[in-house]
Structure 1
Amino acid sequence: MKKVSTNCISSNTYRVKISLNYLGKFTLEFQTLENFPKKGTLKICNTLMNSSSEFRKHKTNLREIYDREGKRSREAGHLDILFLNEKKKSPKEVSVIFS
């Protein structure tokens, strides 16, 4: 995080991705978000995700529902969308916006 914080300008908004591999090694990536609102609402997706699906554990190219529902959410004026599983629990990995 120190590397990320020293390379960031406090007036900008960033997306930070923190990954942990099976060996316990962290990797950090960040990118500037241009014209990104700093405040807003979250929409809870009406479609429940399958908690036993292998695809929920990993980033995947099978992102149709995430992309589609995210776009709908932003078009409706929300900052982001939250996906829940059939147990009505949030997944363990979420995106966090730091500003």
Structure 2
Amino acid sequence: MSNLIKAVMAALLLAGCTTPEQKAASMQAEMEQMMQVYGPACAKLGYAANSDPWRTCVLQLSTKENMERYGYGYPGYYAAYGHRYWGLGGRWGSGW
């Protein structure tokens, strides 16, 4: 039974490995998708297509949507420190 578990663990670890070429291809595909989704909006904002400001606009719109989607854009989020709520202290206690 333990040999089976070891074999499964080894297979899972090896399945998670990717080559630099695979990572580059994945990032290229992700960027192409962002350009298709956000490119028209940036063009409507007045940026010339495939220019550096246009690419910056695409990245900013994508980042903004990701922040909103994953919950990092709401006002109550304060990274690792927490916030003082009614003066009772942050995440680390009332002395901080």
- TM-score by length of structure 2 reads 0.25
Structure showing greater relative contact order (alpha-carbon pairs closer than 8 Å, 6 or more residues apart): 1
Whose helix proportion is higher, 1 or 2? Answer: 2
Whose strand proportion is higher, 1 or 2? Answer: 1
- TM-score by length of structure 1 reads 0.25
